[in-house]
Amino acid sequence: MSTPVDPVADRNARAERIRSEMGGSDKVERMAAESDRTVREHIDAFVDPGSFREVGTFSRSLRPEDRDRTPGDGKIGGDATVDGRPVTVFGDDITVYRGSSSIVGTRKEHRLYSRAVEMGVPIVHFGETGGARIPDTMGAEGISEPGELFTFAARHHRVPMATMITGQSFGGSSFLSALSDFVVMVRGSCLAVTSPRVFEVATGEVISFEEVGGVDVHARRTGQIDLGVDTDGEAYEAIRRWLSYLPANAWEPAPRTAPTAPVEADPGLVDLVPRRRTRGYDMRAVVRRICDPGSVFEVQPDFARSVSCSLARLDGWSVGVVANNPMFNAGVLDPEACQKIIRLVTVCDAYNIPVLFLVDVPGFMVGRRVEHDRMLHWGMRMMQALQLATTPTLTVCIRKAFGLAWQAMNGSLMPSLGVYAWPGAEIGFMDPEVGVNVAFGSKLARISDPEARDTERQRLVGEVAEATSPYEAAGTMRIDEIIDPAETRRVLAADLGRLAHRRVPPPESRPLSWWPTC
């Protein structure tokens, strides 16, 4: 008579074997030898020690011939904490058919997603997959099943979602990154819809992984990631830091931390900004000076650099910051800059984070390229986003604001709850010198004496410049107050303190929070 099997011991042995061997101990050993981390190692390194509790340990492929060699069916996930706060984590197990997406694995991702939304906790996804699994998805039934993946598109930003691209990512994990609020990518990885190998078969095009979807491509050209880093450790820290500014879900207020510096006058702030409108400077230095020391976390720093977008803290309050940066392309708004601003404002609106606008903008970019890149569409889409936003916004005109870019940067008659300007700022239809050349160029050309022509030009420029004084707008209550630059931090901190008492609309009453972030 055989000895009865202890069901608890059997369960524990099964779980241990699945978690240690994964898709094959030889594959795990090979990854270790190549200094590559498995998804379990990524999860363990990211979450608080000992906090991970797996969901779906005993899942496997539906295909009978694959049941014994597909532990987890290519996806690993569960519940954990990060800095003591609950999160849901999951990712692709490349030891099982390259982490490819199939029916049971997709069901697991959907189950974890559904639990996270109902429980109101953030989602962190580790992406590295070879795409859809064949032959599982070849037929009509198979290709229909992974449609569950796209229920993530109906998340409506109820809970924050971050993706870390850890290796070669095609198909499912790439789609999830595009549906995420924050994407960090490790150098050496690749993010694309389809592998370059498929390109070559389908079109004959030969292109490297780096060229199609490397870190530099997405950080600088496409804007499809928020941050590119060199190491896994930097990626973990970036996601932890990003989460620290956000609430666990859309119903909660953003967390406030202890201020890291007193709120007091800063007479040296004005010295960071040249008085001449044509001189460049790095607005990020101004942002760092206004916000709490060490709190500024810039997103998409290498994309559309004419604007700087950040999460930060001011007097301990979480804030988003949108700032023109005259160091790059004079701080102009082009289609990419508008996309970048919309992404940050959408995330901030979804998670109750106020947004500060620091304005030094010469206008919208002009020219054939930007017209063909849909400048009209992106400029008006940005205006629409700001009008739909329900999170509070505050605006400070630092040096200049010309054309409709003043409104696009949340200026007069936009939803800003505080519109301020520094003395000496210029607000008007366009740069006075450019305006004079456009409006009076023909008249000036008829003055034959060069000295007289220059005198008349300077007179006209002076008249136009006088009309661009912020006191003109303040006189008709189109600016709330002209403030001493040294008081900028104090004014904004005081407003943020008052805004803490505001009525926060429920998520279903925040139309912008339903917008896509990609």
* 496-512 pLDDT tens trace: 999 988 888 888 888 89
Strand spans (E) along 393-460: 393-402, 418-421, 426-428
Q: Domain spans of the chain?
A: 7-245, 269-424+469-500+508-514, 431-468
Mean pLDDT, residues 206-211: 88
- The answer to whether the beta carbons of residues 120 and 159 sit under 8 Å apart is yes
Pairwise CA distance, residues 31 & 38, whole Å: 7
Residue with tokens 């803290």: 313
Pairwise CA distance, residues 365 & 161, whole Å: 33
Query: Residue 142 — very low, low, confident or very high, per pLDDT cuts 50/70/90?
Result: low
Pairwise CA distance, residues 1 & 187, whole Å: 59
The H-or-E segment that residue 227 falls in is strand 227-229
pLDDT, position 135: 74
Cα–Cα distance list, 38 to 22, 94, 112, 290, 359 (Å): 9, 7, 19, 42, 45
pLDDT, position 141: 65
Classify strands 75-82 and 85-92 as parallel, antiparallel or unpaired: antiparallel
**SS3 call for 241:** helix
pLDDT, position 179: 92
Pairwise CA distance, residues 235 & 240, whole Å: 9
Encode pLDDT of 18-50 as tens digits.
999 999 999 999 999 999 999 999 999 999 999
> How many C-beta atoms surround the C-beta of residue 219 within 10 A?
21
Residue with tokens 């569409």: 377
Q: What is the DSSP string of 137-149?
A: TTSHHHHHGGGGG
| pLDDT, greater one: 121 or 142 | 121
At the fourth CATH level, the homologous superfamily of domain 269-424+469-500+508-514 is 2-enoyl-CoA Hydratase; Chain A, domain 1 (3.90.226.10)
Q: For residues 164, 170, 175 and 178, what is the CA-based torsion angle, rounded to 10 degrees?
A: 50
pLDDT, position 146: 60
Mean pLDDT, residues 173-191: 95
Classify strands 317-324 and 75-82 as parallel, antiparallel or unpaired: unpaired
At the fourth CATH level, the homologous superfamily of domain 7-245 is 2-enoyl-CoA Hydratase; Chain A, domain 1 (3.90.226.10)
| pLDDT, greater one: 260 or 479 | 479
Classify strands 182-186 and 227-229 as parallel, antiparallel or unpaired: parallel
| Percent of the chain residues topping a pLDDT of 90 | 70
Mean pLDDT, residues 204-213: 87
Domains 7-245 and 269-424+469-500+508-514 share a fold: yes
Identify residue 361 by its one-letter amino acid code.
Answer: V
Lowest mean pLDDT among 51-55, 60-64, 241-245, 299-303: 60-64
Encode pLDDT of 323-350 as tens digits.
999 999 999 999 999 999 999 999 999 9
Whole-prediction pTM? 0.93
- The terminus-to-terminus CA distance of the chain in angstroms comes to 63
Question: For residue 242, which of 174, 162, 180 has the smallest C-alpha distance?
Answer: 162
